[in-house]
Amino acid sequence: MPFATSDTVRPVFEAAVARNAGEPEFHQALHEVLESLAPVLAEHPEYVEAGILERLVEPERQIFFRVPWVDDSGAVRVNRGYRIQFNSALGPYKGGLRFHSSVNASIIKFLGFEQIFKNALTGQGIGGGKGGSDFDPHGKSEGEVMRFCQSFMTELHRHIGEYTDVPAGDIGVGGREIGYLFGQYRRLTNRHESGVLTGKGLGWGGAQVRTEATGYGAVFFTQEMLATRGEEIEGKTAIVSGSGNVAIYAIQKVSQLGGKAITASDSSGYVVDEAGIDLDLLKQIKEVERLRISVYAERRPSARFVSGGSVWDVPGQIALPCATQNELSAEAAATLIKNGVQAVAEGANMPCVPEAVEAFQAAGVLFGPGKAANAGGVATSALEMSQNAARQHWSFADSELRLHSIMSGVHKASFEAAERYGQPGNYVLGANAAGFVRVADAMLAQGVI
CATH number of residue 3's parent domain: 1.10.285.10
Cβ-based neighbour number of residue 290 at 10 Å? 10
Q: Give the alpha-carbon dihedral of 365, 425, 94, 319, to 10 degrees.
A: -10
CB 105 within 8 A of CB 144: no
In this prediction, residues 256-273 reach a mean pLDDT of 97
For residues 133 and 71, membership in a common domain is answered with yes
Name the catalytic one among 109, 130, 236, 371: 130
Indicate the annotated binding residues. 94, 115, 118, 169, 214, 245, 381
Which residues in 300-315 are b (16+ Cβ under 10 Å) and which e?
beebebbeeebbbbbe
- From 313, 331, 364, the end of a domain falls on 364
Q: Are residues 25 and 167 in the same domain?
A: no
**Strand ranges across the sheet with 165-168:** 61-70, 76-87, 127-133, 93-99, 165-168
DSSP annotation of 230? T
Residue 130 falls in the annotated catalytic set: yes
Tell me if 4 is assigned to some domain: yes
Pair (220, 167) in one structural domain:
no
pLDDT higher than threshold 70 for residue 430:
yes
DSSP E strands, 267-421: 269-273, 303-306, 318-321, 343-345, 366-368
Q: Are residues 185 and 222 in the same domain?
A: no
* Res 5 pLDDT > 70: no
Q: Does some domain include residue 316?
A: yes
The DSSP symbol for 262 reads -
Residue 429 has pLDDT above 60, yes or no: yes
Answer whether residue 191 shows pLDDT above 90: yes
Residue type, 217: G
Mean pLDDT of 122-139: 96
Task: Pick out the residues of the known binding site for NAD(+).
Answer: 214, 245
As annotated, the binding site for substrate includes 94, 115, 118, 169, 381
- Provide the pLDDT confidence category of residue 6 given band limits of 50, 70 and 90: low
Task: Looking at the structure, tell me whether residues 188 and 231 fall in a common domain.
Answer: no
As for how many domains the chain has, the answer is 3
- The tens digit of pLDDT for each residue in 19-35 reads 999 999 999 999 999 99
Task: Give percent of the chain with pLDDT exceeding 90.
Answer: 95
Q: Can you tell me the mean pLDDT for 226-242? A: 98
Q: Are 340 and 363 in contact (CB under 8 A)?
A: no
pLDDT tens for each residue of 367-411: 999 999 999 999 999 999 999 999 999 999 999 999 999 999 999
Q: Quick check: is 198 in a domain?
A: no
Distance, CA of 311 to CA of 269 (rounded, Å): 8
pLDDT per position as a tens digit, 66-109: 999 999 999 999 999 999 999 999 999 999 999 999 999 999 99
Query: Are residues 291 and 433 part of one domain?
Result: no
pLDDT band at 2 (very low <50, low <70, confident <90, very high): low
Mean pLDDT across 180-207: 97
Mean pLDDT over each residue of the chain, to the nearest integer: 96
Domain residue limits at 67: 61-193
